[in-house]
Amino acid sequence: MANYGHGMRAPEQIICVDCGGTCHLLPHPETEFQPGDPVAYRCSDCMDRWDIVMPDEDDGRGDMPPEGA
Ligand SMILES: [Zn+2]
């Protein structure tokens, strides 16, 4: 009876991988996404754009790519 499978909200802010600044969600915060959908962010520090793919409901919690050593 889990409430999966429908829309999910993306976090409104993420940390910029590049500069450590704050990236803000470009779509409206109440926009719902499906797993696998790209979600666009804009960094307020370096103005880079980041596209995060919403995690699959199976893979669950890892929403950031693994960082190499
Ligand atoms: Zn940045």
> Does the predicted model carry a pTM greater than 0.85?
no
Alpha carbon of 22 to ligand 1 centroid (Å): 7
Alpha carbon of 2 to ligand 1 centroid (Å): 36
Q: What is the pLDDT of residue 43?
A: 97
Alpha carbon of 36 to ligand 1 centroid (Å): 23
* Structure tokens belonging to residue 12: 């409104």
CB contact at 8 A, 43 and 60: no
Q: What is the pLDDT of residue 69?
A: 59
Q: What is the pLDDT of residue 6?
A: 73
Rg (alpha carbons) of the chain, rounded to whole number: 13
pLDDT of the chain, 69 residues: tens digit per residue: 555 557 889 999 999 999 999 999 999 999 999 999 999 999 999 999 999 999 887 655 555 666 665
